[in-house]
A and B are shown apart, each in its own frame.
Chain A
């Protein structure tokens, strides 16, 4: 059974006003336990709205969200409990830091869960380590941290609830390349270590291609495809026609194919691309 499931999920903003807009349009989706899902799409394609419905922050206009097969908007369902199981890290999460120390801020979620002090302490220290925050920073004010550190502290705040599904809405937005790679690598490490389901929203193919096991492509409030990165990028030209930029390496290989060289379509990591080229160079066939 999938851990998270969306059936006919629809969300319309400002119904009945001139601003009415359907942000998510009858989406069906099944997320399996332990998957690392990347979600890509343009600004305004409905990514954030979809994610906020997944943990019960927004009530669907139509359709249902099932967590372990149970409707989270059922009459008796406890939405707070759902939010502890489906952790959501918002865009620019550093703007939600408020406690006096980083430690207390990370502990905010677990404290709301009503956990014991020792357990909270373990979680705070463990997640701080996962996101690479030095123990000496824990007693500082969150406002004294650098931008990247703040971001990681805020992510730790959600991780500390040890949710079964961790959703991150553009966790790398506005960071420099080093900050981006750091967070993405840590996320992969977190996924490997805990085996939790991770959903990573991004509008950069480059970012997600390397890390995820499944890709969900959204366009105009609808699902375009939900498949492995290899299969998704095999439909490269279709994605490009929707205005989604493919990873650089994929574009290079598409160009090579266009010039008559026989390469597979789904090259999306530099590593794989390099291997292909190497094999070609070592083989007898001339490159160009």
Chain B
């Protein structure tokens, strides 16, 4: 069970969104991102918000998880907010001090920016919360497969990504174990100056590298033993299948996008 956590991101429950075709989910997320940056309008953000609300409701992801995904970027939000707020020119000026100023345009842009980034993170997190990394890379491979015609090693890239993702939790677990083992021998990882701390990492990094190399070698051998020879003629255990719900979701997104574009052209506020 614990081993199923990949990247600490995927939130494995059963919902409509979880069961959706990953290819569609990626396309829809891309559309959502483009839509978010389509024009400087309240309508755009309202549509984005609606999208996130509907998607969250359908995916049964607790709101808490979305908030958690936004938390790490709060500093970025504050910085972009402040920059836009204090540096932008335009509209009515409320206050001015040297190069800092508070203008109508500044307030509006900074508010828009913050909401937009929040929506952006929430929307993309929903993709990773509802799709396991392995399926995600499969979908990316499928979407990029036209590039094979241009001699791009799409399968190899996807396989590398899959392997990298697969081993992140393993390496985290391993690091954890080695750290505990060295701590049990009195390694001090928490105190001292920068140099001391860097030095204190040696007992962790060396065993970690050794085991990573060992694992890579074993994996290569195991793959060869099972006659892995690249993507040519390879079939899949989990075939990506699209169904009615995927088309409905796509049409919903497209309609929303169309509405946003129309609002941008015809509505003036």
Instruction: Write the residues of chain A forming the contact surface with B, with a CB cutoff of 8 angstroms.
Output: 13-14, 18-19, 21, 52, 55, 57, 80, 83-84, 87-90, 93, 95-98, 108-109, 112-113, 143, 157-158, 161
**Nearest CB in chain A: distance from B52 CB, A:** 22
The answer on a CB contact under 8 Å between B207 and A97 is yes
Residues from chain A with a CB closer than 8 A to the CB of B206 are: 98
Q: A98-B207, A113-B186 are in contact. Are A57 and B2 (CB under 8 A)?
A: no
Residues from chain A with a CB closer than 8 A to the CB of B178 are: 95-96
Query: Number of contacts between A and B (CB, 8 Å)?
Result: 66
**Nearest CB in chain B: distance from A18 CB, A:** 6
The answer on a CB contact under 8 Å between B202 and A87 is no
- Between A and B, 8 residue pairs with Cβ closer than 8 Å are A80-B186, A83-B185, A90-B180, A95-B181, A96-B182, A108-B182, A109-B185, A109-B186
- Judged by a CB distance under 8 angstroms, whether B16 is at the interface is no
Nearest A residue to B203 by beta-carbon distance? A98
The answer on a CB contact under 8 Å between A158 and B207 is no
Of the residues A93, A96, A97, A112, contact of B186 by C-beta under 8 Å:
A112
The answer on a CB contact under 8 Å between A57 and B207 is no
Q: Binding site of B, secondary structure by majority: helix, strand, loop or mixed?
A: helix
The answer on a CB contact under 8 Å between A88 and B12 is no
Q: What is the CA–CA distance of A108 and B106 in the complex, to the nearest angstrom?
A: 58
Residues from chain B with a CB closer than 8 A to the CB of A109 are: 185-186
Nearest A residue to B184 by beta-carbon distance? A88
The answer on a CB contact under 8 Å between A108 and B211 is no
Q: What is the CA–CA distance of A84 and B187 in the complex, to the nearest angstrom?
A: 11
- Judged by a CB distance under 8 angstroms, whether B188 is at the interface is yes
Of the residues A88, A95, A112, contact of B187 by C-beta under 8 Å:
A112
**Nearest 8 interchain pairs by C-beta:** A112-B186, A98-B206, A109-B185, A96-B181, A88-B184, A90-B181, A98-B203, A57-B180
The size of the chain B interface, using a CB distance under 8 A, is: 24
Q: A80-B188, A98-B202 are in contact. Are A19 and B1 (CB under 8 A)?
A: yes
The answer on a CB contact under 8 Å between B186 and A19 is no
The answer on a CB contact under 8 Å between B207 and A108 is no
Q: A13-B2, A18-B11, A95-B211 are in contact. Are A158 and B185 (CB under 8 A)?
A: yes
Q: A95-B178, A97-B207 are in contact. Are A112 and B1 (CB under 8 A)?
A: no
Q: What is the CA–CA distance of A21 and B202 in the complex, to the nearest angstrom?
A: 33
The answer on a CB contact under 8 Å between A96 and B207 is yes
Nearest B residue to A13 by beta-carbon distance? B2
Nearest A residue to B206 by beta-carbon distance? A98
The answer on a CB contact under 8 Å between A87 and B184 is yes
Nearest B residue to A87 by beta-carbon distance? B184
Q: What is the CA–CA distance of A80 and B185 in the complex, to the nearest angstrom?
A: 9
Most interface-central of B2, B177, B184 (chain A CB within 10 A): B184
The answer on a CB contact under 8 Å between B177 and A90 is yes
Residues from chain B with a CB closer than 8 A to the CB of A157 are: 185
